[in-house]
Amino acid sequence: MICARGRARALQVYQQTTLALACRRALSYARERPRAAPFDRYQVLEQISLDMKEKTYLLNEQVGFLMRLANQRHSSIFQELVPHGLTATQFAAVVKLAEIGECSQNELGRQTAMDVATIKGVIERLKRKDMVTIQADPNDKRRSLLSLTAAAKGIISELHDAGHAITRLTLSPLSAAEQKTLLRLLDKLA
């Protein structure tokens, strides 16, 4: 059995061999063409390198990895700035409930992209923090209606300000145009 270091070295040798073979083929083809227009050896090598790069899997170039790193940055900023010790899911639930008003737990889960189990836990924790009230729907006893407590309503402006600051700091390495583009593209992916 080959150890991880051996596999990594084998892959490196394979990639180098493949690249070298591709370079030799391209250069010999370019030399053998009769009356061919002159070619720039470095341009040929650069194109081969680009072609090989597309075939080589590098973790640092993968969308999921880059999005995870960006999310780690955002989460760190969020944890530093969010008031009242709220988690990201609790923050989303409180802010969305303030936006849409009284609604069912299932509706709030849909509005905040949380599954049934997650929103249930979030609401239980918010209830313990005295931020949410739960009451039976008078029209359908199977449903519970959620609403914000007076205490939660009193901090909505503070949460909005924190949310703006978190977004501003998360996007701060980007120019204004890049920020708009990133948000548009993330919305498209979502």
Shared-domain flag, residues 69 and 42: no
Shared-domain flag, residues 40 and 69: no
**166 Cα distance to chain centroid:** 15
Residues 6+ apart with CB under 8 A from 123: 93, 105, 108, 132, 134, 146
Domain of 14, in residue numbers: 4-56
Shared-domain flag, residues 176 and 139: yes
Shared-domain flag, residues 164 and 127: yes
pLDDT digits (tens), the chain, 190 positions: 445 555 555 555 545 555 555 545 555 544 554 455 556 777 767 777 776 666 778 899 889 999 999 999 999 999 999 999 999 999 999 999 999 999 999 999 999 999 999 999 999 999 999 999 999 988 888 888 999 999 999 999 999 999 999 999 999 999 999 999 999 999 999 8
Contact 133, 146 (CB under 8 A): yes
